[in-house]
Amino acid sequence: MVIETFDPKETYDLGVKMGEQARAGQVICLNGDLGVGKTVFTQGFAAGLGIAGPVNSPTFTIVQQYEDGRLPLYHFDVYRIGDISEMEIGYEDCFYGQGVTLIEWSELIREILPEHVTEVTIEKDMEKGFDYRRIRVEEKE
């Protein structure tokens, strides 16, 4: 499925919709260049889960946990990991637990991802406008 958004609110709203439909054990791989709206999407996703507090990218901590929604949210940002061994502690509890895992820059840790994931790829197209985004959502088996 491909969705086009034309402002950050539409990207946020798509995140809300997907958060409302999220299920326990789901792993969502969120990919795209810097500045495409991954954090905006994630904030909407968290809102869709009923998480009320601020949601920011965990760039310097690798993972942020949010427990106050209808499902726990484990938000990973693996952009800064230098080696896959940095992910060895506890990621399985998140990937295979009772919450939802959202992973920014998941292509960097592809070898440890579960077999079934939902891949969300966000791309810009400046010819269609500064705020335009093409968002591809695919179930990977």
- Tens-place pLDDT, residues 42-62: 999 999 999 988 888 776 678
Identity of residue 18:
M
Q: Round to whole Å and give the CA distance between 31 and 103.
A: 8
Residue 2 to residues 5, 13, 78, 97: CA-CA distances in angstroms?
Answer: 10, 15, 25, 28
Contact 139, 47 (CB under 8 A): no
User: Among the residues of 22-109, which ranges form H helices?
Assistant: 38-48, 91-95
DSSP code for 64:
E
Q: Round to whole Å and give the CA distance between 38 and 46.
A: 12
Higher pLDDT, 91 or 74: 74
Q: Using a pLDDT cut of 90, give the percent of the chain over it.
A: 67
- Tens-place pLDDT, residues 78-110: 887 766 766 666 788 889 889 999 999 898 888
- pTM given for the model: 0.91
Q: Choose from 22-26, 91-95, 110-114 the range with maximum mean pLDDT.
A: 22-26
Residue owning tokens 């809300």: 16
